[in-house]
Chain A
Amino acid sequence: MAVYKRGYQRYQGPLTSRTARLLVLPWFAWRRLFEQRLLIVLLIVSLFWPLACAVFIYLANHSELWAGLDREVSGLLEINGRFFLTFMNVQAVLAVVLAAFAGPSLVAPDLANNALPLYFSRPLSRTGYALARMAVLAGLLSPVTWIPGLLLFAMQAGMAGWTWLASYWTLAIGLFAGFLFLILQLALVSLTCSAYVKWRAIAGALILAFFFVLAGVAETIDGVLRVTWGAFVNPLRMMYRLWCELLGVAPPENPGLAGSIVMLLVLALILVWVLSRKLRPVEVVS
């Protein structure tokens, strides 16, 4: 064929599905992440607490091991919503550290090296790109959050029997949903910080500071102004309030449930807005 006839022609070969295209990004990102030894160490450290909880469940279900203990101590060995709430609290802190470690490498290098046009020149939308990057974190955080949580639940259900399962089956849903919300929040914060500062090194510190400093600001507001609404600027505290509701545990007086949900939604919207402003396929140089 003459060269001048080789004009643009649409690709006629088989097309991959939209989901398969989205999964390409997590697939490569996971491979790169798991090459880092420190991440593996962090993941292993994150599994110590679930292991300790498993031992606790084993002890709680073998009354012969603590037969000599008084009633107060025996009461502490009960497996209920409070037990899973404590489990979730500890894992949430580890999840924040993991997100701060892994999150910055998701978007920052693409922005710093002007690689976004390369992504968006392929059949991938901005939403698709963001979802794929969030899937990387979801995949990384799941083995330290809801997966061990549900395994612990299954272990307890297996050891305690149907009576316990009939009374506490909602805990499994609460645990899964609670961790899902946490992962969503962490992924949004990580992506936004990563996109906002562009540099991996700084973005990690920003993610960490976001959660710790906002917790400090909340306490400062409460302490100085003698109010109780300061918790509304602490994302992890609001998440805790939501978890209390999901697990049916007596919640703290503040923040309120409706307020927490509204503020979490507002925070998510702000993060999505910042992210959408930063994730642009082209950069206009003025």
Chain B
Amino acid sequence: MNTPFRLRQVRTIAQLELKRVFFSRRSFWVYLLALLPAVIFIGHGIDVKVRQSRSASRTVSREILASIQLGDTPESVIERAGEPIDDHQWNWKEQNREVAHRRMMYFDGQDRVNLHFQDGLLASKRQSPLINAEEDRKVFAGVFQYFYLRLAIFFGCLGIFMNLFRGEMLDKTLHFWFLAPARRETLLAGKYLAGLAASIVVFTGGVALCFAAMLWPQSAADTQAYWQGPGPAHLFAYLAAAALACIGYGSVFLAAGMLLRNPIVPAVVLLLWEGINGFLPAILKKLSVLYYVQALCPVPPPLDASAPPLARLLLTPSEPPPAAVAAIGLLALTALVLWSASRAVRKLEINYGAES
């Protein structure tokens, strides 16, 4: 029973488990979690493309749009710029009198110009690009940090890794594994590797698809400039952060799945722990998965200026460590948790009667 033999056992267990993790009915909601943001980004892309095709046929020159001044009437604007792409009129009661509102939109080939008339006079003029690549990247950063790291990967790993041991307990099949001539640590390693492979494939795949969906509606020039600039490094950083989050959360939930019968307890404690990370002293911050993973994220997420100060403090990432330190720190944390899990699995006793 030498090391290569044990490694072969680990590989065999991982291969057997992989099929169960990837193709079981319980895995569908994990796929859903991973792919949902990509679907929303694709929806955004379709919306932008439709608007682009609608606007392209009615482009107005920039000079004409620049000549429109506050105080102009809708008729004079239409006379100069032609029929707008969008034209809405409504009345609104303000201070006991009806105020006539009208909103018109023009397109100059790149930007949208929104004109808002009140009582027949131009009250405001706003220019905004049909698609803002920089803004989209910030939104993606926000989706990655708030949705993927804090929710999708968290709950996805909870489902995948807790299921590895606790699921077998519920299916009353764990004793088959324990009867096999393999050490329990080998079984643990095999199951962890299977869960890890599945979670990394699902979530990095989801992040990559989401990234592609984010870039899809952007102009060719913007996309090319991004790919020649920081684009590949950003993509690599996001994928690495997602993979590291799977490694970290996976180890924690695998250990929790063996030690505790109810996954709510570790889920709530960890959610709370990760949530209050910003308040914790420096030494305790290092015991959080999010602390290391956020350090790898290349773009800071956008923060809602109107959010309450407490919420802003909770959502603001704490002072991040250097990327290499973050990766090593997380791997060390994972090794520590897996070592504790390997100690626990040796003493694990099956009591199917207590499960249902």
Q: Residues of A with Cβ closer than 8 Å to B?
A: 38, 97, 100-101, 108-109, 112-113, 199-202, 204-205, 208-209, 212-213, 216-217, 219-221, 223-225
Contact of A199 with B356 in the complex, beta carbons under 8 Å: yes
* Inter-chain contact A204/B37, CB cutoff 8 Å: no
Q: Are B152 and A212 in contact (CB under 8 A)?
A: no
Q: What's the Cα separation between A199 and B158 when bound, in Å?
A: 15
Chain A residues lying within 8 Å of B170, measured Cβ to Cβ, are 199, 201-202
Chain A residues, CB < 8 A from B142? 223
- Size of interface on B: residues with Cβ below 8 Å to A: 35
Q: How far is the CA of A200 from the CA of B260 in the complex (A)?
A: 13
Nearest residue (CB) in A for B158 is A205
CB distance from B169 to the nearest CB of A (A): 9
Q: Are A201 and B262 also in contact (CB < 8 A) when A112-B356, A213-B33, A224-B41 are?
A: yes
Give CA–CA (A277, B163) in the complex, Å. Answer: 26
Once bound together, how far apart are the Cα atoms of A100 and B264, in whole Å? Answer: 7
A101-B262 contact, Cβ under 8 Å, with A205-B158, A219-B147: yes
B151 touches which of A97, A199, A213 (Cβ 8 Å): A213
Residues of B with C-beta under 8 A to A113: 356
Residue ID in chain A nearest B37 by CB atoms: A220
- Nearest B residue to A108 via CB reads B356
Residue interface mask B28-59, A partner, CB < 8 A = 1: 00000100110011011001000000000000
B294 to chain A, nearest CB (A): 16
Having A201-B162, A204-B263, A224-B43, one finds 9 other A-B pairs with CB under 8 Å, namely A101-B264, A201-B261, A205-B159, A205-B263, A208-B264, A217-B36, A220-B37, A220-B40, A220-B143
From 78 to 136 in chain B, residues with beta carbon under 8 angstroms from any chain A beta carbon are none
**From residue A247, how far is it (CB to closest CB) to chain B in Å?**
18
Taking the closest CB of chain B, its distance from the CB of A146, in whole angstroms, is 23
Could you show 8 A-B contacts with beta carbons less than 8 Å apart? A108-B356, A199-B170, A201-B263, A201-B355, A202-B26, A204-B264, A205-B263, A220-B143
Nearest first, the 7 A-B pairs at minimum CB distance are A204-B264, A216-B151, A209-B155, A216-B147, A112-B356, A109-B356, A224-B40
Bound CA span A78–B88, Å:
43
Q: Do B37 and A224 touch (CB < 8 A)?
A: yes
| Residues in B whose Cβ lies below 8 Å from that of A209 | 151, 155, 158
Chain B interface residues (CB < 8 Å from chain A): 26, 33, 36-37, 40-41, 43-44, 47, 139, 142-143, 146-147, 150-152, 155, 158-159, 162-163, 166, 170, 261-265, 267-268, 271, 302, 355-356
Q: Are B356 and A208 in contact (CB under 8 A)?
A: no
Docked-complex contact A201 and B166, CB < 8 angstroms? yes
Between B162, B262, B264, the greatest number of chain A beta carbons within 10 A of the residue's beta carbon is seen for: B264
Least CB distance, B130 to chain A, in whole angstroms: 11
Assess the A208–B147 pair: CB atoms within 8 A. Answer: no
Q: Which residues of A contact B41 (CB under 8 A)?
A: 224
Q: Is there contact, CB below 8 Å, between A97 and B143?
A: no
Instruction: Given the known inter-chain contacts A38-B265, A101-B262, A200-B356, please indicate yes or no for A205 contacting B147, CB distance below 8 A.
Output: no
Contact A213 B158 (CB under 8 A): no
- The closest CB in chain B to the CB of A212 belongs to B151
Contact of B44 among A97, A100, A204, A224 (CB under 8 A): A224
CA distance A40 to B51 in the complex (A): 56
Residues in A with CB closer than 8 Å to B33 are 213
Give every chain B residue within 8 A of A201 (Cβ-Cβ). Answer: 162, 166, 170, 261-263, 355
Contacts of A213 in B (CB 8 A): 33, 151-152, 155
CA distance A213 to B41 in the complex (A): 17
- A209–B170 Cα distance when bound, in Å, is 20
From residue A23, how far is it (CB to closest CB) to chain B in Å? 24
Least Cβ distance of A207 to chain B in Å? 8
